[in-house]
A and B are shown apart, each in its own frame.
Chain A
Amino acid sequence: MAPPGEARFLALLNEHRAILHKVAYGYCRQPEDRADLVQEMAIELWRSFPRFDGRVKFSTWAYRVAMNVAISRFRGEGRRIRDTVAIDDLGTEPGREDPFLDGASDNMRVLRRMIDGLDELNRALILLYLDGHTSDEIAEIVGITPGNVTTRVNRLRQRLQDEFARLEKEKP
């Protein structure tokens, strides 16, 4: 039987584990890398759990830890990938073998492409926004002001609309 701390952690983790998968989806193109990243996040959550004092919601806390792990790995991997292969040579078609995109519309695939083109911090913003968080909640997780969040989300909204407009023009 698991000790009480571990049992509580596992219960919370089970309840919020989708957070890990959604963050991993935002930062990893390859499904097998994504599974590794989810494990890394779970391990870091467990390592950090003694510091969790309940002052913020567990989901907010879990988002911070998961995104910090993902960004650290993304930057480390980014350096390694930039050193070895061009991003277009990775041979991964966005959406292929992607459980999160099963049954999703083409619009979601356009969104996926846009997310792939963003830097690590803007990815965090858009993932949190898509997940239904308010500007205040996003600000708390990212560590910037709510006004800054609103401005940046508006820029991302405009960028997405430009992308759809471009695709519309390219239609035969």
Chain B
Amino acid sequence: MSMTLEDLRDEWAGQSRRLDERLRIASGVLRDEWIERHRERVRRASQFGAFNMAVWIATLAMLGYFMVGHSGEPALFATALLIDAWVIATGVAGLRQRFAMEKLDYSQPLVRLQAQVEALRVARIRTFNWAFLTGQIVWWIPFVVVLFAALTGFDLYSSSHFVTFAAWNVAAGLAFIPLAIGLARRYGERLSKTTAVRHIADSIAGRDIAEARAYLEKLRRFDAESA
């Protein structure tokens, strides 16, 4: 057998001609389907975007209302302010990434566009890690306060030991960050490959970013290497 790529190119051209003929016969199907799908996709994307935006604005409004109502109570005010700052920062980061995705020009050369897509993926993973690791500090204290009040009826905020309690919890939250990264690196790969926990572990352990960086390097080499 002495087949070459050039011989296959001729056969490929023949197959292409047959494909063209078949597509001509089926003319009109693609048109109807794609218009319908496009409308559906735009509708779903705009509904989802509007819903997310509404939830975000409502959360900010409620936090603002809460802060105004509790401006004389430093513990409550400071907690709400922290949550507010976290919600604003994660929301803005999410919006920026969404706009950047929408602005991507798919008609660019493959190597350039794929590098942009991968850079956005790195940014998305970083944002997730940052939101996940700082979120557990921001949300933990209000969560414990509410849980305590629900189970025992005791208001931790009114306790004279609240500052000590908060300081210890913030310190524990900060210590959790390197601990979570260490645990994810050590045990993350043993988790089932399909679980959400595994995806979080891969993200905070830096495996996803390492994979994305390797791909960016591959694109760079593909572009540069000619020998």
Question: Number of A residues contacting the other chain (C-beta, 8 Å)?
Answer: 64
Chain A residues near B23 (CB-CB < 8 A): 17-18, 21
A residues with CB within 8 A of B: 10, 13-14, 17-18, 21-22, 38-39, 42-44, 46-48, 51-52, 61, 64-65, 67-69, 71-72, 75, 83-84, 99-105, 107-108, 110-111, 119, 121, 124, 129-132, 140-145, 147-148, 151, 153, 156-157, 160-161, 164-165, 167-168
B107: contacting residue among A14, A61, A129, CB under 8 A = A61
Chain B, interface size category, equals: 35 or more
A52 to B205 Cα, complex, angstroms: 41
B residues with CB within 8 A of A: 1-5, 7-9, 11-13, 15-16, 18-20, 22-23, 27, 30-31, 33-34, 37-38, 41, 105-114, 117, 193-194, 215, 218-219, 222-223, 225-227
Chain B residues near A147 (CB-CB < 8 A): 226
A72 to B11 Cα, complex, angstroms: 29
Q: A72 and B117 in contact (CB under 8 A), knowing A10-B31, A18-B20, A121-B222?
A: yes
CB B20 to nearest CB in A, in angstroms, measures: 5
Majority secondary structure, B binding face: helix
Decide if B3 touches A104 in the complex (CB within 8 Å): no
CB A109 to nearest CB in B, in angstroms, measures: 11
Decide if B19 touches A129 in the complex (CB within 8 Å): no
Q: A38 and B30 in contact (CB under 8 A), knowing A84-B193, A121-B110, A148-B226?
A: yes
Q: A68 and B33 in contact (CB under 8 A), knowing A157-B4, A164-B1, A164-B2?
A: no
